[in-house]
């Protein structure tokens, strides 16, 4: 969406009048992507530029919908293609069909993904901007996983997970070695490990434990940044409508 600067500022609800908007711009108190803009008619794409008044970032009131879901296993985080439908696969988006309008349903996307056999915290939203701000690799938001293994994890293996280790990744059909970033690791009991990562390569958690010779028998994401699934008391498959601004603030503060 492209707006003139004075239109954007008026819509934020931060200013008491149109005259106050104009005075703020003319006084050089408004920046767009860090540059002072004194032209009230300056046009820009809202989703791609950051506007600040006296250093405080301003945003439009959200018309988007954001949901926090306790994802069950057995559903995938993408729209179903014909082959997946023929195989009886289920999509996470189907869970929201009766809770949103048809237009909102078509706009829903997940903030990152969880594998079909992974459960836990998943954000589903109509806001592409929220996806970018949280899921961007540059943001490095920590994700916490509860990992259940078939065999006990040793202290030596815990230290290897913390330091980072080499795992195999498939890139464009070829297997490459990748060194994981340092992680925060806590052994809850010999076969249950809490793992916090600030990255998310495909099936990374399972590959990390496989590199140590462990089979992962259950995997749950319990937190994203400061957003903790336990605080919402949701059963598997249940979700709650949440504020985009509140979610973003809690996630990024974590």
Measure the CA–CA gap between 243 and 187, rounded to whole angstroms: 33
Listed in sequence order, the DSSP H helices in 180-243 are 204-211
> Mind telling me the catalytic residues?
115
- What is the torsional sign of CA 18, 19, 23, 29? negative
| CB-CB contact of 171 with 119 (8 Å) | no
In the chain, at which residue ranges do the beta strands (DSSP E only) sit?
A: 2-4, 30-32, 35-36, 43-45, 51-53, 56-58, 66-71, 109-110, 119-125, 143-149, 166-171, 174-179, 184-189, 192-197, 216-224, 227-228, 239-242
């Amino acid at each position: 969406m492209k707006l003139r600067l004075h239109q954007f500022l008026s819509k934020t609800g931060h200013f008491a009048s149109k005259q106050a908007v104009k005075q703020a711009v003319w006084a050089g108190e408004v920046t767009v992507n860090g540059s002072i803009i004194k032209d009230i008619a300056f046009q820009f794409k809202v989703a791609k530029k950051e506007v600040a008044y006296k250093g405080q970032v301003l945003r439009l009131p959200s018309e988007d919908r954001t949901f926090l879901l306790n994802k069950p296993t057995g559903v995938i985080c993408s729209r179903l293609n014909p082959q997946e439908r023929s195989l009886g696969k289920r999509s996470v988006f189907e869970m929201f069909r009766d809770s949103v309008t048809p237009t909102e349903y078509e706009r829903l996307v997940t903030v990152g993904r969880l594998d079909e056999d992974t459960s836990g915290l998943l954000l589903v939203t109509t806001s592409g901007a929220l996806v970018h701000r949280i899921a961007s690799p540059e943001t490095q938001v920590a994700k916490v996983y509860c990992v259940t293994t078939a065999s006990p994890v040793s202290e030596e293996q815990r230290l290897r997970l913390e330091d980072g280790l080499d795992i195999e990744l498939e890139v464009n059909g070829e297997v490459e070695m990748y060194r994981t970033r340092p992680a925060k690791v806590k052994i809850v009991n010999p076969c249950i490990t809490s793992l916090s990562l600030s990255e998310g390569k495909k099936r990374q958690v399972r590959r990390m434990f496989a590199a140590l010779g462990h089979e992962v028998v259950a995997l749950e994401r319990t937190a994203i940044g400061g957003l903790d699934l336990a605080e919402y008391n949701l059963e598997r498959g249940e979700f709650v409508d949440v504020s985009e601004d509140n979610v973003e603030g809690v996630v990024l503060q974590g």
